Amino acid sequence: MRARCDFALWVGLLAVVLGSGAARAGTTPETLEQRCWAAVGRAATTCLGDYTDEVRRCRDAADAACEEAFRAPNGTLAEIVAALEGPIRETCTDASAERISFSLGVDRHLHYIGEACQKWGDYFVDTAYADDLGALSPENLTCQHHVALRLARLQERVIAACRTCNEAEFTGGDCNRSRRDQRIARGQTRAHRGILRHCGASFDQLGLVAPGDAATLDARVDVLLDRVVVPARHFALRVYPQLNLGPTALFGSAPVGVRTLGLVDQSRPNPTGPGPRALTVEVYYPSTAAAVAGVPRDVVQVFGIDLFPTPSYRDVARAPGASPLVLYSHGSGGIRFENFALAVHLASHGYVVVSADVPGDTLLDPGDAMNSVLTNRPRDITFLMDQFLAFNGESGNFFAGAIDADRIAVTGWSYGGYTALALAAGSFSLGTFTDPRVKAILPLDGSAQAFGSDAPALYSTITTPTLLLGGTFSDFLAPLLQQLFDALSPGPSVIAYGNFLRAVHPSFADQCEVPEVLRGQSAACEPDVLPWRHVRHIENYLALNFFDGTLGGSAEALARLDPAALAGVEELAYQRK
C-alpha cells in the first residue's frame, strides 16, 4: 500500500486521540457526528485508492499470479477492506453514525462502505484496463499504463472535489458547486491531454471504448473519462453523503415499532391455495422511548435468514394519539418490507404505515395470473383500509384510536405504484377501484403500462394530490411517467413529478441492503447508478413533506415542494403544476 495512506492512518489516529480528549471536555453530538462522517469518508477513499494502486502494480508487471493473490480470500484486497474498521470504529459510535447510516449503526455502515470500496474498485478495473493485456504490443502496454494512471488520478480528484462540497453541505454550509465542477473539468482536461500524448491512435487498440460509441478519437477518450467521473461522483455521495435537506429528511423523534399481522379477506379466494385470501401484513408505527428501552432492533428475515437490521422494535407499545395512515403496496414479485427505509422514516415522524404481501405476486409465492394481480392489488388496499379503520374503533384492539380516518394515503413501488394510481383514477377496462378515503398518492416508478389503452385519457380522472417519483435510467417507464404527469389536471394541492437522475427502476426498493449472494447483482447497487441511500434520503424528504402538506395541511411542507425550493437538489429533475 502507499506510504501516504500510512501517513493518513496516523493522522486519523491522532485526530481520534485529540477528539477523545475534546469529547471529554464537552464536544457536542454534532461535532462527533462530523468527525464520524469525515473518518468514514477518509477510510473509504483510502481503501479505493489502495485497491486501484495494487491492481495497477500487478498489471504493469503483467503478473496474473500477483492479482490472483491480491484477490485471494485472505489476500491484500481483504486486508485493504479490513483496514476500514479501525479508523471508523475508533471515531464512530452508533449514536454519532446515526445520520450517515440511516440509523442502522456502525456495523451496518461498515458493511456498506466496505462493499463500496470493492464495487467501485471492480468497476474501475473493468473500465480502465483492456480485457486481454497479453494480446497488447509493448507500445500498447505503455499506453495502457498511462491510461490507468491518469484515470486513477482523475478519480481521486473528482472524489476530493466532491468531498469538499459535500462536507460544506453536510455541516449546514454552502458549497461552491461551480468551483467544484471547474476542478473536475480541469482534471478531465489534464487526463485527456495525458492520454492522447502517451497513446495517440494506440488508445483504440485497448478496446476500452467501442468505435460506435463516438465518432472521433477525442470523443472516445471523453467517453472513457465520463465513465470514471460519474461513478466517482457517486462514490463521493456514498461515502461523503450530503444529507443537507434538514429535519424532515432525517429520522424523526419517535422510536418505531413494528408488528406482523395475519388478516383474511373472506370475500375473495386465495390464489396460492385453498380457502379465502390471506394477507401477511407488516405495520410500522410510532412508539415511545420507554417502550423500546432494552428491546433489540428488529432484523428482517426471509426463510429464517437474517437479511439486514432495521431501526425498529418488534411488538412494542405504540405512542398514544391518532396518526395519519399510509398504505404501501410492494412491487411485482416483491415483499411487504421491500421499502423499510420509507416506512420507518414516516413512522418516526408520526405515521402508521401498513404494508401487506400480495398473495400470488410475492417473492415467496409468485405465479398468479396478471389480470388477477392487477384487479386484486387495489382491492387489497381497500380491504386493509376497512380493517384498520375497524381496528381503530374496536375497544381493546392494539390499534384502537391509532388512525385518523380523514388522513389516509397510498404509496407503492412498480406495480404498487399502479395500485396507488388505480385507487385514485376512475373506471377503466379492469374495473373501478376508486376509493374516496384516499387523500393522496405517491407512486414510486409506478407501472403505468398496466393501464394499456386506457391511458392517457384515464389520467385526467385523477383529482387526488399526486407526487410521481421515477428514475431517468428506468428507460421503459420514464416516458410513460412523463406522459402521465402531462395528462394530470392541475387543481389538487400537489401535482408533481420528481425524476432522479441516473436512478433505475430498483432504486426505489431496499434490495441493495440485502447481501449480494442472496439478492443477485442489482443495477441499483452499481457504481454508475445514483447510490440508493442518496435516492432514499431525497425520497423520504419528498414523501414526508408531501404527506404533511396534503394530509396535514402544513404550509411549510408544501413550500418545501415548490420547484424553487428543490432547484438545489442536483440529482432531481422536478416539475409541478
Picking from 216, 239, 262, the residue at the C-terminal end of a domain is 239
pLDDT in tens, 305-318: 888 889 999 999 99
CA 2 to chain centre: 32
Q: Is the pLDDT of residue 424 over 90?
A: yes
Helix, coil or strand: residue 497: strand
Q: What is the DSSP letter of 355?
A: E
pTM, entire model: 0.93
CA geometry: angle 554, 508, 38, nearest 5 deg: 85
Band (514; pLDDT cuts 50, 70, 90): confident
* Model pLDDT, residue 10: 35
For residue 81, is it within any domain?
Answer: yes
Higher-confidence position of 12 and 399: 399
The answer on 268 and 373 residing in a single domain is yes
The answer on 233 and 293 residing in a single domain is no
The answer on 298 and 225 residing in a single domain is no
Q: Is the pLDDT of residue 301 over 90?
A: no
Least confident of 32-41, 516-525, 558-567: 516-525
* Model pLDDT, residue 26: 54
Q: Is the pLDDT of residue 24 over 70?
A: no
Please give the grid coordinates belonging to residue 339: 421499502
* Model pLDDT, residue 37: 97
The answer on 336 and 215 residing in a single domain is no
Q: Is the pLDDT of residue 411 over 90?
A: yes
pLDDT in tens, 264-283: 999 999 998 899 999 999 99
Is the separation of the CB atoms in 282 and 301 below 8 Å?
no
The answer on 275 and 198 residing in a single domain is no
Band (544; pLDDT cuts 50, 70, 90): very high
Q: What is the DSSP letter of 553?
A: -
The answer on 368 and 222 residing in a single domain is no
Q: Is the pLDDT of residue 15 over 70?
A: no
* Model pLDDT, residue 18: 39
What are the residues whose beta carbons fall under 8 Å from the beta carbon of 246, sequence distance 6 or more? 541
CA 448 to chain centre: 22
For residue 190, is it within any domain?
Answer: yes
Nearest Cα to Cα of residue 232 among 135, 320, 157:
157
Q: Give the helix/strand (H/E) hosting 499.
A: strand 495-500
The answer on 204 and 352 residing in a single domain is no
* Model pLDDT, residue 55: 96
Please give the grid coordinates belonging to residue 228: 470514471
Is the separation of the CB atoms in 172 and 228 below 8 Å?
no
Query: For the chain, what is the mean pLDDT?
Result: 93
Q: What is the DSSP letter of 274?
A: S
Rounded to the nearest 10°, the torsion over CA 467, 230, 187, 189 is -100
Least confident of 16-30, 93-107, 184-198, 353-367: 16-30
Separation CA 519–CA 506 (nearest Å):
12
Long-range contacts of 145-148 (CB under 8 A, 24+ apart): 145/56, 145/60, 146/194, 146/195, 146/198, 146/199, 147/195, 147/198, 147/199, 147/203, 147/206, 147/208, 147/224, 148/52, 148/56, 148/59
For residue 474, is it within any domain?
Answer: yes
CA geometry: angle 160, 165, 168, nearest 5 deg: 125
Is the separation of the CB atoms in 90 and 13 below 8 Å?
yes
Please give the grid coordinates belonging to residue 480: 410513460
For residue 173, is it within any domain?
Answer: yes
| Residue 208 belongs to domain spanning | 3-239
For residue 368, is it within any domain?
Answer: yes
Q: Which residues share a beta bridge with 576?
A: 496
Number of domains in the chain: 2
* Model pLDDT, residue 4: 36
Helix, coil or strand: residue 256: strand
pLDDT in tens, 50-66: 999 999 999 998 888 99
The answer on 55 and 87 residing in a single domain is yes
Pairing of strands 256-269, 276-286: antiparallel
Q: Is the pLDDT of residue 11 over 80?
A: no
Q: Is the pLDDT of residue 401 over 80?
A: yes
The answer on 289 and 200 residing in a single domain is no
Largest CA distance in the chain: 82
Task: State phi, psi for 194 to the nearest 5 degrees.
Answer: -65, -40
The answer on 278 and 218 residing in a single domain is no
Q: Is the pLDDT of residue 207 over 90?
A: yes
For residue 147, is it within any domain?
Answer: yes
Can you give the CATH number for the domain in which 536 is found? 3.40.50.1820
The answer on 330 and 268 residing in a single domain is yes
The answer on 227 and 274 residing in a single domain is no
